[in-house]
Chains A and B, each alone.
Chain A
C-alpha cells in the first residue's frame, strides 16, 4: 500500500514547516502551497488524500478555497481540514462560509484544527479520517 498524501495550504512558512515535519515523521507524503490559488492547482495535480487549509491568507482566503474544493466535481470528495488561529467553530459560522452565492449549502469540513496545533489530537484526527 502506497503512502497517503496530504496537501498543506498556509501562507505562514513556519506552520508549513511544522506540519510537514510532523506528518512526514508519521510516514505521510506531504505537499505544500503558500496561497489558495497555488493550493487549488496542487490539489488538481496531486489529487491528495487530505487537504489542510489555513483560513487567513492574502489575496484569497482559505474559506474561498474550501468552497472551490467542495464544488469541484473531481475534488469534492477529498476530506478537508480547516486550520486557523481563529476560534474556528465560532468565528467561521459567522461568515456563513458554507452558503454559496447561489444559495446552495456545501458540507462541513471533515475537521477543524485550531492553532496552536495539539499534536496528539491532530494526528488522531488525521488517522481517523484517512483510516
Chain B
C-alpha cells in the first residue's frame, strides 16, 4: 500500500490516510486476528453492527457462535490473497443486512499474516431491488426472455417456460416458433443493430403446437447504445384477443352474408332513424342503391304507415300479411311486411323491417284466375254448342212437322209444328240472354254480409214454391258466424240457383217426402254454404259433367248456364263449389269461401279494371244489335 503513496507526500496526509481515513471512510472496516477476534473497528462499522472490539467477528456479523463455513478471513489467512463475497447477516438492531465483504491480509516484518482487514459495504437496498426485479421478471403478465447476439435465450421467465418449455440455451426462433432459422422480421436483431427498442406482431406456437399470437417488444439490456450484447424481449400474448377478433369477424361476415343473400328485403335503422342496413334485395325492391340510402336517408320513407303508427303507439312488432310500399320511381309494390323495434335490455337501439315482394305471387294468382276464366269460357262454348244443337233439333222438328202437315193438308199438324218452332225460338232467346249475362263483366260489390241472414232470405223466397210441390225447405244457420265481405246480390242469386236446382231434383224424384236444406257453416276460417236435397240425385257421369261441361238435363226448362254463372260468382269471391250426389238419394252442393280470399277493396279494384274492357266489348255488341 505504502508503495502507492509517493515519498514526497506530506506527513499530515500520511497521518490522515492512517487515522482519519479509517474513521471517516463510508465503509465498514474491522481488523481481526487469527482467532477471528475483532481487534479494531471503525466508527461506521460500529454504527451498523454495534460494539465489536473484543468479540468474535462471526458473532458480530451473523450472531453465530462458530466460524462460518466459507470464512473469507480464513481463506486470506491461508493464501494471503484478497477475497470478495456476498454475505448476509444482522445489524445491531437485529435487522437482516446484505453486504459485500473484502478481506485483505496484514503482514508483520517477517511477512507472516498476523491480521486480516475486513471491509464491507451495505447492499441491502440493492438486494431488495434485485428481488423485486426477479419477481417482476417471473410474474409479469408477459413472456420475457434475455437473448444474446447469437439469438440464444440466456434467461426466461416462469410464464415463458410454462408456455414454451424450459429451453434456456436454445435459439429464440426455435423456442417461440419451432423454426430452424432466424425470422426475417426479427425485432431483436434490429435492436442489436441500432440499440433502439423495436416492436412487432408475431405468430408462434406453444409447446403443444397451438398457435400463439403475441406482440413482442425488444430493448437493449445494456445502457451503452453502441455496444449491446443482450436484448430483453417482452412478448404480450394476444391469442385470446386474436381469437375473439376472429370470432367477431366470422360472426360479422356470417351476418353480412345472411343479410345480403336473403331473398327478403331488409332495412334496419339505428336510434337516429337513419338507415344502417339496406341489403341487395332491398336495393332491388325499392330500386335504389344502398350507397344512396345508408347513412343518408331516413328509414320512415321505406316503412308502411301502419307500422310507423304502431311503433308510435308503443308496439314492438308488427306483421302485415299484405302492405304497400313505394319504390324510388313511385310505383306501389305489394309486400308481406314484418317489422320490429330492436332493444338491448330496456334500451331501444333501432328497428328492423323485412319485406317479401308479393308481385310475382300476385301475378301468379291473377294468371291463375285468368286460366280459370278461360276454362270456364271454353266450357261455356261447349255448353252453348250443345244447347244450340238441341234447339236446332227442335227447330228442325218444327219445320218437318209443318212441312209434312202442309203436304198432307193437316192444319192441326201445321199448328203443332208452328208451336214447336215458337218454343225453340224462345229457348234460343233465353239462352242468348243468359249467355250475355254470363259473359258480361262483373265486379263483386263486397260489403260485410251476414251469411245466415242471406241464406234465410233465399229460403223465404222459395217457401211458397216449395210448399206447392210438397218439398220441405229448411234453413240451418251457423252459430256465431261473423259477417263476410261479399256481394250479397250475387251470392243470393247463386244460392237461389242451387235451391231451385235442388227443388227441381225433388220434383222428378220418386221420394214422396223430399226436403231441401240450405245450411251455413264455418270451420278453419272457411265459410260454407251447402244445399242438400233428398231428390233424384245424379249418376256418376252427370256428376262428373256437372262442372266440366255445363249442361242441362231439364229439357226446355233450363239453359244450363245456372251452375256456370254460380261457379263464376263463387270463383270471383275466391271460393270453390263441389257436389256430392247419389242417384235416388239426393245431392249436396257445397260452396266454400276461405275468409282470407274473400274480396277486399284491392282485389275488387283489379276486377273492375278487367271489367272495363269486357264492358267496352259488350257495348260494341249492344250497339250493333240496337
**One of B39-47, B440-448, B536-544, B599-607 contacting the partner:** B536-544
Measured CB to CB, the nearest residue on chain B to A55 is: B541
Question: Across the interface, do B554 and A15 meet the contact criterion of CB distance under 8 Å?
Answer: no
Shortest Cβ gap from B516 to chain A (Å): 16
Question: Across the interface, do B554 and A63 meet the contact criterion of CB distance under 8 Å?
Answer: no
Question: Across the interface, do A59 and B537 meet the contact criterion of CB distance under 8 Å?
Answer: yes
- From known contacts A14-B424, A56-B553, infer whether A117 and B583 are also in contact, taking CB-CB under 8 Å: no
User: With a CB–CB cut-off of 8 A, which chain A residues contact B549?
Assistant: 91
**Proximity string of chain B (515-558) to chain A, C-beta cutoff 8 Å, 1 when within and 0 when not:** 00000000000000000000011110110100001011111100
State which of B385, B394, B539, B583 has its C-beta within 8 Å of the C-beta of A15.
B394
**Proximity string of chain B (383-398) to chain A, C-beta cutoff 8 Å, 1 when within and 0 when not:** 0011101101111111
User: With a CB–CB cut-off of 8 A, which chain B residues contact A18?
Assistant: 393-394, 396-398, 400-401, 420
A60 at the interface (CB under 8 A from B): yes
Shortest Cβ gap from A56 to chain B (Å): 5
How long is the Cα–Cα vector from A86 to B553 in the complex, in angstroms?
13
Interface size on A, residues (CB 8 A): 30
A109 at the interface (CB under 8 A from B): no
Shortest Cβ gap from B512 to chain A (Å): 16
Question: Across the interface, do A64 and B541 meet the contact criterion of CB distance under 8 Å?
Answer: yes
Question: Across the interface, do A14 and B393 meet the contact criterion of CB distance under 8 Å?
Answer: yes
State which of B390, B504, B544 has its C-beta within 8 Å of the C-beta of A115.
B390
Interface size on B, residues (CB 8 A): 40
Question: Across the interface, do B420 and A14 meet the contact criterion of CB distance under 8 Å?
Answer: yes
How long is the Cα–Cα vector from A15 to B541 in the complex, in angstroms?
22
User: With a CB–CB cut-off of 8 A, which chain B residues contact A73?
Assistant: none
How long is the Cα–Cα vector from A116 to B549 in the complex, in angstroms?
19
Shortest Cβ gap from A119 to chain B (Å): 7
Shortest Cβ gap from B40 to chain A (Å): 142
Measured CB to CB, the nearest residue on chain A to B509 is: A59
User: With a CB–CB cut-off of 8 A, which chain A residues contact B556?
Assistant: 12-14
Among A11, A14, A115, the most chain B Cβ lie within 10 Å of the Cβ of: A14
State which of B387, B390, B413, B539 has its C-beta within 8 Å of the C-beta of A61.
B539
Among A58, A91, A119, the most chain B Cβ lie within 10 Å of the Cβ of: A58
Question: Across the interface, do B386 and A85 meet the contact criterion of CB distance under 8 Å?
Answer: yes
User: With a CB–CB cut-off of 8 A, which chain B residues contact A116?
Assistant: 389, 392-393, 395-396
User: With a CB–CB cut-off of 8 A, which chain A residues contact B387?
Assistant: 85
Among B396, B416, B536, B583, the most chain A Cβ lie within 10 Å of the Cβ of: B396
Question: Across the interface, do A25 and B404 meet the contact criterion of CB distance under 8 Å?
Answer: yes
- From known contacts A17-B416, A18-B397, A63-B541, infer whether A57 and B389 are also in contact, taking CB-CB under 8 Å: no
How long is the Cα–Cα vector from A56 to B401 in the complex, in angstroms?
24
How long is the Cα–Cα vector from A58 to B583 in the complex, in angstroms?
10
Give the number of A-B contacts (CB < 8 Å): 96
Question: Across the interface, do A59 and B583 meet the contact criterion of CB distance under 8 Å?
Answer: yes
A114 at the interface (CB under 8 A from B): yes
User: With a CB–CB cut-off of 8 A, which chain A residues contact B132?
Assistant: none
Question: Across the interface, do B400 and A21 meet the contact criterion of CB distance under 8 Å?
Answer: yes
Question: Across the interface, do B389 and A115 meet the contact criterion of CB distance under 8 Å?
Answer: yes
B13 at the interface (CB under 8 A from A): no
User: With a CB–CB cut-off of 8 A, which chain A residues contact B199?
Assistant: none
Question: Across the interface, do A56 and B420 meet the contact criterion of CB distance under 8 Å?
Answer: no
Shortest Cβ gap from A112 to chain B (Å): 13
User: With a CB–CB cut-off of 8 A, which chain B residues contact A1?
Assistant: none
**Proximity string of chain A (89-105) to chain B, C-beta cutoff 8 Å, 1 when within and 0 when not:** 00100010100000000
User: With a CB–CB cut-off of 8 A, which chain B residues contact A13?
Assistant: 555-556
- From known contacts A18-B393, A60-B583, infer whether A11 and B400 are also in contact, taking CB-CB under 8 Å: no
State which of A17, A59, A114, A117 has its C-beta within 8 Å of the C-beta of B420.
A17
How long is the Cα–Cα vector from A44 to B495 in the complex, in angstroms?
41
- From known contacts A12-B556, A56-B551, A114-B389, infer whether A17 and B542 are also in contact, taking CB-CB under 8 Å: no
How long is the Cα–Cα vector from A85 to B556 in the complex, in angstroms?
14
How long is the Cα–Cα vector from A15 to B584 in the complex, in angstroms?
25
How long is the Cα–Cα vector from A97 to B389 in the complex, in angstroms?
22
B9 at the interface (CB under 8 A from A): no
How long is the Cα–Cα vector from A11 to B392 in the complex, in angstroms?
16
How long is the Cα–Cα vector from A97 to B385 in the complex, in angstroms?
22
**Proximity string of chain B (405-419) to chain A, C-beta cutoff 8 Å, 1 when within and 0 when not:** 000000001001000
B3 at the interface (CB under 8 A from A): no
User: With a CB–CB cut-off of 8 A, which chain A residues contact B554?
Assistant: 11, 58
A31 at the interface (CB under 8 A from B): no
Measured CB to CB, the nearest residue on chain B to A91 is: B549
Residues of B within 8 A of A (CB): 385-387, 389-390, 392-398, 400-401, 404, 413, 416, 420, 423-424, 504-505, 508-509, 536-539, 541-542, 544, 549, 551-556, 583-584
Top 10 A-B pairs, shortest CB-CB distance: A18-B397, A85-B389, A115-B393, A116-B392, A58-B553, A59-B536, A14-B394, A116-B393, A85-B390, A12-B555
Q: What would be 9 A-B contacts, judged by CB atoms less than 8 Å apart? A: A18-B394, A21-B401, A21-B413, A59-B537, A61-B541, A85-B389, A85-B393, A117-B393, A119-B396
Besides A85-B389, A117-B397, 13 other A-B contacts (C-beta < 8 A): A14-B397, A14-B423, A14-B424, A56-B553, A58-B508, A58-B553, A59-B509, A59-B539, A64-B539, A95-B541, A115-B393, A116-B389, A117-B396
